[in-house]
Amino acid sequence: MEGRREYHLLRSTPDYPDKEEIVPKIKTNRGAAKRFKKTGTGKVKAKRAFARHILTKKSANRKRGLRRSKIISKTNMKGIEKLVPYL
């Protein structure tokens, strides 16, 4: 079953301001959209891994650090921007 395609209008070039071109919207990866949030300064943050189970062997100091979110590095930003284009 095919879904309906969503489109938005985009100006093609500054040379032709009256001409509009229909461009399909990019789909957001919904799993990634739930995992990443943008900060006020434009950086992307995410929850830390290794904090769900097998917590008895981890120290209290380590578990406390896992509560804090992390800032995504610039090397991973390109991939995240593809998954969540409108973040």
Average pLDDT over residues 60-65: 96
Q: How many Cα atoms occupy the beta-carbon half-sphere of 29 within 13 Å?
A: 11
Which residues pair with residue 37 across a beta bridge? Answer: 45
Please state the pTM of the whole predicted model. 0.68
CA distances for 73 relative to 37, 43, 45, 54, angstroms = 14, 9, 9, 27
For the segment 4-44, what is each residue's pLDDT rounded down to a tens digit? 666 555 555 666 666 666 778 889 999 999 999 999 999 99
The pLDDT, as a whole number, for residue 23 is 75
For the segment 65-86, what is each residue's pLDDT rounded down to a tens digit? 999 999 999 999 999 999 999 9
Are residues 82 and 62 in contact, defined by beta-carbon separation less than 8 angstroms? Answer: no
pLDDT at 3 over 90: no
Query: How far, in Å, CA of 80 to CA of 61, rounded?
Result: 30
The pLDDT, as a whole number, for residue 87 is 87
Are residues 47 and 35 in contact, defined by beta-carbon separation less than 8 angstroms? Answer: yes
Say how many C-beta atoms besides its own lie within 10 A of residue 45's C-beta. Answer: 14
